[in-house]
């Protein structure tokens, strides 16, 4: 299994967005994680179509768009047209998960489902075979720089078992508080894709930090 590092642009310096994107690209980032928040699903507001379009012009890396919004389907068309590579919606905001996943795929994006720390994995079990990506939140979404919730490691292990049981090849992503201290635990539990905001952009050398994080996984096979 290979390690995918997805720095979260939420922690970038927006006055130097082009430089920060170039920096993580040069550091070997696999994906760029884009946190869309609507001030309703989570108590914070971030960005939308224009920033996705801008990022699309700045990099050829896949744009991993995490929709922390209510009624996510309202944004699918615009975000796909803006250049999103994957659209991940929260099961807590998706009463018709199968229909929403199908629509995301129709638009040519990878379809992801995210679960908050307090949400049972049972919410995705029936759809597991249809998912391209399962995102297990390792903090309560809304802000960068929060502390990793240790009990989510066991949840990642159960998520891996759930995907395997469904014979799903979906990406298993973790998001929140991923840094040098936490990444190896999540990797050993079965995650393959690691969002890191503060862990990368808060490091002395963000470019170097991507390799450090990747190496910490590879050392723990
Ligand atoms: C949390 C967001 C995360 C956030 C991660 O609500 O979904 O993607 O940017 O930031 P860190 O890695 O700093 O916890
Ligand atoms: Zn995120």
CB of 36 closer than 8 Å to CB of 75: yes
CB of 44 closer than 8 Å to CB of 197: no
Rounded distance, CA 159 to CA 164, Å?
A: 9
List all residues whose CB is within 6 A of at least one atom of ligand 1: 8, 10-11, 33, 35, 66, 139, 141-146, 175-178, 195-199
- The answer, yes or no, to whether residue 66 has pLDDT greater than 80, is yes
- pTM, two decimal places: 0.98
SS3 breakdown of the chain: % helix, strand, coil, rounded to 5?
45, 20, 40
pLDDT grade for 220, boundaries at 50, 70 and 90:
confident
Q: Which atom of ligand 1 is nearest to the CA of 66?
A: 7
pLDDT single digits (tens) 140-198: 999 999 999 999 999 999 999 999 999 999 999 999 999 999 999 999 999 999 999 99
* Dist. CA 103 → ligand 1 center (Å): 26
Look at residues 138, 166, 165 and name the one whose alpha carbon lies nearest to residue 153. 138
Token pair in block for residue 213:
């994080």
- The answer, yes or no, to whether residue 209 has pLDDT greater than 90, is yes
Look at residues 90, 108, 94 and name the one whose alpha carbon lies nearest to residue 35. 90
Ion ligand 2: residue ranges with CB closer than 5 A: 35, 66, 175
pLDDT single digits (tens) 68-122: 999 999 999 999 999 999 999 999 999 999 999 999 999 999 999 999 999 999 9
Look at residues 194, 175, 184 and name the one whose alpha carbon lies nearest to residue 136. 175
Q: Which atom of ligand 1 is nearest to the CA of 202?
A: 13
Catalytic residue among 30, 38, 132, 175: 175
Catalytic residue among 20, 30, 35, 132: 35
Residue minimizing CA distance to atom 7 of ligand 1: 141
**pLDDT of res. 221:** 73
**pLDDT of res. 17:** 98
Q: Which atom of ligand 1 is nearest to the CA of 138?
A: 14
Specify the 3-state DSSP secondary structure of 5. strand
Please indicate whether residue 35 is annotated as part of the active site.
Answer: yes
**pLDDT of res. 139:** 98
């Amino acid at each position: 299994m290979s390690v995918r590092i997805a720095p979260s642009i939420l922690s970038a310096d927006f006055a130097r967005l082009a430089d920060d994107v170039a920096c993580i690209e040069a550091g070997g980032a696999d994906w760029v994680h884009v946190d869309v928040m609507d001030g309703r699903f989570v108590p914070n507001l971030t960005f939308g179509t224009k920033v996705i379009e801008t990022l699309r012009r700045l990099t050829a890396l896949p744009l991993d768009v995490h929709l922390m919004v209510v009624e996510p389907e309202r944004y699918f068309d615009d975000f796909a047209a803006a250049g999103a590579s994957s659209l991940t919606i929260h099961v807590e905001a998706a009463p018709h998960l199968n229909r929403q996943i199908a629509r995301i795929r129709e638009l040519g994006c990878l379809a992801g489902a995210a679960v908050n720390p307090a949400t049972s994995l049972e919410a995705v079990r029936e759809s597991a075979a249809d998912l391209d990506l399962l995102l297990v939140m390792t903090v309560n979404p809304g802000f960068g720089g929060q502390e990793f919730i240790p009990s989510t490691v066991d949840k990642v292990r159960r998520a891996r078992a759930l995907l395997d049981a469904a014979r799903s090849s979906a990406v298993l992503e973790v998001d929140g508080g991923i840094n040098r201290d936490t990444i190896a635990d999540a990797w050993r539990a079965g995650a393959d894709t690691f969002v890191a905001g503060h862990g990368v952009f808060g490091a002395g050398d963000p470019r170097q930090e991507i390799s450090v994080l990747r190496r910490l996984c590879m050392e723990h096979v």
